[in-house]
Structure 1
Amino acid sequence: MNEPSPQTLETVGESGNAKIVYILYLVGLVVGITSIIGVVMAYIYKGDAPNWLKDHYRWQIRTFWIGVLYSLIGLITSLILVGYLILLFVLVWYIVRCIKGLQCLDKRQPLPDSGSWLF
């Protein structure tokens, strides 16, 4: 029986933490607090990760903070009704970023543009 090498297990374990962060973000759309737990995890695991995985943690951290910013703008402008469209955009944007991150993570690849404010 072929057993995976320790290096393969280490890579799977490291990417598993990033996958948990993406899942916490998606669950955070319903529960809320899990997104905060996810961003804390991303900050913690970012330092020891290989470069391709640091890219994912950067993406996750930026997704959290940019999402907070866009949500605040949406909440403030909801007084003039435009904010509801902004909040809908933020929801779609957040989900797309998480799914895009999960897809690249499953391929063990860095994201094409982890510094992007959009998708």
Structure 2
Amino acid sequence: MMNEEDRLKAIAIYALYIVAVVTAVPYFLGVILAYVFKGSAGPEMDTHFEHQIGLFWRVVISGIINGALISIGVFLTATVVLAIIGIPMIIVGGLGLLWTWVMGLTRSIRGIGKIQSGEPYPIPAGWSL
């Protein structure tokens, strides 16, 4: 059985993650709260906090990798001769960031739905939706 207070905590973190699609700052507050609340809730709610922590780290890793691809691509494109390499890097990095944005939003909305249904969050493997 899910405690109402724990449910509200997890929903608040998912809401922060949804707001974070506009600005990344709420992700940091959300993951700090997830680390604080994890372990103090029941096993069903802990799956949500674990998911929120994992989602944060996936977003950070993806942001670093795709941001680097875009940055290097822009640099290479500026040297005209290497634009043939730089432009695809920019495209791949941009698509990677778009995928990360969709993944974060989808998983957060799905998490709220699971809480409303009283279900634990099944920990997804990898980077899928």
TM-score range relative to shorter protein: 0.7 to 0.9
CA distance in 2, matches of 1:17, 1:11: 10
Residue by residue over 1:57-93, the C-alpha shift from the partner in whole angstroms, topping out at 9 and shown as x without a partner, is 0000000001111111111112221101111111111
How far does residue 104 in structure 1 lie from its aligned partner after superposition? Answer: 0.6
Amino acid at match of 1:74: N
Identity %: 28
CA RMSD of aligned residues (A): 1.5
Task: Give the count of matched residue pairs.
Answer: 110
Q: Does 1:97 align with 2:95?
A: no
Unmatched segments (≥5 aa) in structure 2? 74-88
Give the number of the structure with larger relative contact order, counting CA–CA contacts within 8 Å between residues 6 or more apart: 2
Under a length normalisation based on structure 2, what TM-score does the superposition of the two structures give?
0.79
Structure 1 moving runs of 4+ over 6 Å: none
In structure 1, the gaps of 5 or more residues are 1-7
Normalized against structure 1, the TM-score is what?
0.85
Task: State which structure, 1 or 2, has the greater radius of gyration over its C-alpha atoms.
Answer: 2
For 2:97 and 2:24, the matched residues in 1 are separated by 15
